[in-house]
Amino acid sequence: MSIKALFKSLRLRKFATGLLLLQLSLTIGLMVNTVILTNSAIEKLNKPFMFDVDQLISVSLIPTSGAFRDNNYARSIIQQDIAKISELDGVISAAHYNQLPIQRGGWNGNLQAADFPDDAVLPRELQYVPQFYSSKIGLDNLGVRIIEGRGLTDADDITDDYYNPDKNLDDIEQNIVLTESTAKAVFPNKSAIGELTNNGRVVGIAKDFVVGPTLTGPAKHFAFFGNFMFARADFPQNYLIRVELGKIEQVKEKLRDTILGVQPERDILTIRSMSEHLETFYSQDTGLANLFAVLSLLMILVTVVSSFAHAHFHVTQQRKFIGIRRALGARKKDVMLYVFSENWMLTLGASLLGIATMVGLNIALSQVINIDKPNIILYILAVLVVLIAGSLATWLPAYKTTKIPPVIATRTL
């Protein structure tokens, strides 16, 4: 087998060879980044969120009746909802929330110590701390425990004062619970218990749980909780229901009728398990990974077809040369090796170009999403897939070549 002869053969078909090289390199780059995106999506869905995801159902609804503009009426309906939901078989507890954990945007604001210097710059991550308002069981309902101080109680409820027209909101000092990471960030050199912040006095510190998974470092755990019932006719109301393991679907089926049985003039926006909520949150990640997976499979299919066509064309054009080799004593396996060698040389060239396409595609994706960098193992696996696919596609033309009798091949001379 002559490497020089193979190069010469490929040069005679520059256009077709160039297209196949480009296609193979794109396939390698696409496959590597597909695996990275898929692994990332799976990792995000399976990583621990440090609260009881598997036991929670979220409900989001919005009133459609003007009666809810009466705050006392709206609050009474929420209380009745919680009471009725709590009576359902399989329900451990239920609570109202102004927002859900694991979401983009929402209620957030700056959080700082009351004596934070006016001329100091507040760290960016403390300028957008999620603010959760629920009942006294808000944290327990999530499955998050208090690790220092105490949890919120009925005495901490500021709802009546907040909606009292005779009260000045600036005079209301609420008690709050911070997550562990939040407490350390706001009060790095001392315990936060008993300290005053611009959002209230700290009475407890809760175990960290994932609040904002798109953030990095401790900021993904930042949050504080207050005891307050948010009831506004023009804003959605959120409930989280904690249920016994294995009874998620059973309880979900009863929630709509239970809630509308209390007051029917409301739109139920969503009823879904927290696991479904997470899947929705990461739908862009999983959708992009699925899209790239489909594209990769299509590219592999095209690679097989193109490799077959390229090998078949090569065999057709090289009948005289192969006939001479057979007449001079070349064995069938020598002929097959010759045909395979051309495909392997193309794969080698594509593997080198594939480094550029792999890195280039990864850089392009990193401009719009968070994506890990490629690694050598994924690259090698992608090259092997392309090599195997191309070799399988080349086998049939190579095998047919061995069936050409030398005497027939040489008649064309």
Confidence of residue 413 (pLDDT cuts 50, 70, 90): very low
- Regarding whether 313 and 238 lie in a shared domain, the answer is no
The number of folded domains in the chain is 2
Domain extent at residue 16: 3-45+284-410
- Regarding whether 294 and 272 lie in a shared domain, the answer is no
> Closest Cα partner for 413 from 322, 352, 346, 345?
322
Domain endpoint, select from 220, 250, 281:
281
The alpha carbons of the chain give a radius of gyration, in whole angstroms, of 33
> Closest Cα partner for 144 from 204, 70, 83?
204
Domain endpoint, select from 281, 310, 326:
281
Q: What is the pLDDT of residues 177-195, one digit of tens each?
A: 999 999 999 999 899 999 9
- Regarding whether 225 and 294 lie in a shared domain, the answer is no
- Regarding whether 112 and 34 lie in a shared domain, the answer is no
- Regarding whether 188 and 249 lie in a shared domain, the answer is yes
- Phi-psi sector, 49: left (phi>0), alpha (psi -120 to 50), beta: alpha
- Regarding whether 213 and 73 lie in a shared domain, the answer is yes
pTM: 0.78
- Regarding whether 102 and 250 lie in a shared domain, the answer is yes
Confidence of residue 350 (pLDDT cuts 50, 70, 90): confident
The least confident of 23-27, 203-207, 304-308, 350-354 is 304-308
- Regarding whether 386 and 339 lie in a shared domain, the answer is yes
Query: Which tokens hold the place of 139?
Result: 């944290």
Mean pLDDT of 384-390: 87
- Regarding whether 291 and 263 lie in a shared domain, the answer is no
Query: Which tokens hold the place of 127?
Result: 């300028």
- Regarding whether 351 and 273 lie in a shared domain, the answer is no
Q: Are 299 and 26 in contact, with CB atoms under 8 Å apart?
A: yes
Q: Identify the pLDDT of residue 226.
A: 97
Mean pLDDT of 352-364: 91
Alpha-carbon 34 to chain mean position: 13
- Regarding whether 273 and 137 lie in a shared domain, the answer is yes
Cβ-based neighbour number of residue 331 at 10 Å: 11
Q: Are 325 and 334 in contact, with CB atoms under 8 Å apart?
A: yes
Confidence of residue 408 (pLDDT cuts 50, 70, 90): low
- Regarding whether 308 and 271 lie in a shared domain, the answer is no
Q: Where are the alpha helices (DSSP H) in 47-177?
A: 71-86, 138-142, 159-163
Helix (H/G/I), strand (E/B), else coil: 231: coil
Q: What is the pLDDT of residues 78-100, one digit of tens each?
A: 999 999 999 999 999 999 999 99
The angle subtended at Cα 225 by Cα 219 and Cα 227, nearest 5°, is 170
Phi/psi at 277 (5° precision): -60, -40
Domain endpoint, select from 265, 281, 297:
281
Q: Identify the pLDDT of residue 6.
A: 56
- Mean pLDDT, the chain, as a whole number? 86
End-to-end CA distance of the chain: 21
Helix (H/G/I), strand (E/B), else coil: 177: strand
